Structure 1
Amino acid sequence: MARWLLAIAYIVAGIAHLTRPAGFVAITPDWVPLPHMVVMLTGMAELAGATGLMIPRLRRAAAVGLALYALCVWPANVHHALRDIPLNGVHLSWWYHGPRLVLQPVIIWWALWAGSVTDWPFRRRQSPP
């Protein structure tokens, strides 16, 4: 169930990156080259990772990829929060930014757990040989 929920979340995010990139481009830090292309590539990475989570032989690689992806986009989330960049003219408060920034490590862990890269802190039952 956790794997499916994460895959669905990344599918939704990937589609949003590809179909409505302006908000993602707006929060991209200035030091990132070619922000529109980077947003398109991140959308494709999200879709590939979500698909990989559902394919057993690709699951672990997809999980590691999604965890690294979540780590790499964290600076954009920090940039968004610290610069108070409006999205569609709306300034989001720290009620939005605070939990988003704090939960990023949870998303990283979730990808690793959903892909069976880690079982911490929930030990999976081993099926008998």
Structure 2
Amino acid sequence: MTRSERSPLLLAGLLAAAGAAHFAAPRPFDATIPRRLPGPPRAWTYGSGVLELALAAGIAVPRTRTVAAKAAAAFFVGVFPANVQMAVDWRHRPAPLRTAALARLPLQVPLVLWARGVARSEEGRS
């Protein structure tokens, strides 16, 4: 299997694992939900988990890969405010936790680029 064939499956696996984690251990995700969003944080946690699982499924299937990868790139941009919220909320926590929260911020960039690359690669095949 070539790198270009593995990349979408790895991205789908990452999204599936993250989506499942939203249900297996929702509390840490609840803490990242920006307070200005309406409704209970748990609803947003579960909703984003469902969305990640749906994106994973869409990327895993070649027929829906392009649109799902583009949606995943948008999703990674859309959850950036939650990462900012986490960094703000964790600014007084011990240094390793603060560092982890801050490290999540630039991590969104390679995720967006990865998803866009998967979409472009699939478009090139059509």
TM above 0.5, yes or no, is yes
Deviation at 1:93, TM superposition (A): 2.4
Share of identical aligned residues, percent? 32
Q: TM-score, normalised on structure 1?
A: 0.80
Using the alignment, how far apart are the partners of 1:102 and 1:52 within structure 2?
25
SS at match of 2:12: helix
Match of 2:109 among 105, 108, 111: 105
Aligned to 2:120: 116
Calculate the TM-score normalised by the size of structure 2: 0.82
| 2:70–2:115 contact (8 Å) kept in structure 1 | yes
CA RMSD after TM alignment: 2.7
Distance 1:106 1:60, change over 3 A: same
Structure 1 residue 6 corresponds to structure 2 residue 11: yes
Aligned mate of 2:49, from 34, 43, 64 = 43
Residue 114 of structure 2: SS of its match in structure 1? helix
Change (3 A) 1:76 1:85: farther
Q: CA deviation at 1:99?
A: 2.8
Change (3 A) 1:26 1:86: farther
Greater per-residue helix proportion: 2
Q: Which runs of 5+ in 1 are unaligned?
A: none
Q: Which runs of 4+ in 1 moved over 4 A?
A: none
Per-residue deviation at 1:90? 9.6
Structure 2: segments with no counterpart, 5+ residues: 1-5
From the superposition, tell whether residues 72 and 117 of structure 1 become closer, same or farther in structure 2 (CA, over 3 Å). farther
